[in-house]
Amino acid sequence: MAREPLRSGARERLARTPGPRNEPARPSALRIWLRRRRALVRPALYGVAALGALALVVVAVRALDPAGRVRGAAESFAGMGESLGLTVQHVILEGRRNTPTDMIRAALGVARGDPMLDFSPEAARARLETIAWVQRAHVERRLPSTILVRIEERRPFAIWQNGGRFVIIDREGKVVAADGLDQFGPLPLLVGPGADSTGAALYDTVKAKPEVAERVQAMVRIHERRWNLRLHNGTDVLLPEGHEAAAIERLAELHREARLLDRPLAAIDMRLPDRLVLRPTREAQPAEQPTQQQATRARRG
């Protein structure tokens, strides 16, 4: 049975018939809790933003006015920060092993209770890097009350003997300590002017040949031109100028073949490219033969 089409009036009445109402979703308990505490969180955020803006103003004033024409204004800002509780309460130090702590305190120049905004991280960094042990430094303020200090220290590399004075140096030849040399463990010994700045390369070459390295007592710079190796048994190895690596390679081969470095020798001269000169010690030299006159006198006596 065919359905009759709806009349136009029936369509209009059907369109005007209201449908079921959608009830608004009830907010969750978490959202209700956040709404109730929004009034407390918002002032705290504004306070943090204000402190950050105050710090930026002080930094900008000091950067744009190195002559101090508005120094009074900067000091008033610093005093305002102090009144808001921006004072130094904690200093965090990272990376220190050998640098004396009293030197670090003196370089920072800050004490507990000092105004945070009156402390210059850049000036403190520059002072820290004047300490012999400190290679690089990083200093920053962490509001409201913490100063973070990170230092990268120079590493003790060798003992340098020069003019009867012994000091600890790093690989670049920078003197880092003159006292307590035994607290850094066994270190290579470099001797003579110029050995401080050029010794690292020779040390690496010698270290690559363990049979040589374990017998070397000191590396001696001669006239700031070439090197001698002083062995533990007293032998001096005279290395050629500018050809140390090849000579040490040859020295290691000779020792493996003939135990050369364990022989009682006064010197092993390797300065000539086509020959090796061995100088025995006096104890190893054959006894002198008596002359004919001495032998006659001995028979008569």
* CA separation, residue 148 to residues 68, 136, 137, 171 (Å): 27, 14, 11, 28
Range(s) of the chain covered by CATH 3.10.20.310: 41-153
Q: Would you write out the chain's pLDDT as a tens digit for each of its 301 residues?
A: 444 444 444 444 434 445 445 555 566 665 665 566 565 556 555 555 555 655 565 555 555 555 555 444 444 444 544 555 689 999 999 999 999 999 999 999 999 999 999 999 999 999 999 999 999 999 999 999 999 999 999 999 999 999 999 999 999 999 999 988 888 889 999 999 999 999 999 999 999 999 999 999 999 999 999 999 999 999 999 999 999 999 999 999 999 999 999 999 999 999 998 899 999 987 555 444 444 444 344 344 4
Fold held by 41-153: Ubiquitin-like (UB roll) (3.10.20)
Range(s) of the chain covered by CATH 3.40.50.11690: 158-280
- Percent of the chain that is helix, strand, coil (3-state, to 5): 40, 20, 35
Q: Which two tokens stand for residue 192?
A: 């003579």
Question: Does the pTM of the predicted model rise above 0.75?
Answer: no
Fold held by 158-280: Rossmann fold (3.40.50)
Closest CA to 131 of 174, 90, 166: 174
What is the rounded CA–CA span in Å between residue 178 and residue 98? 13
Does residue 290 have a cis bond before it (omega within 30 degrees)? Answer: no
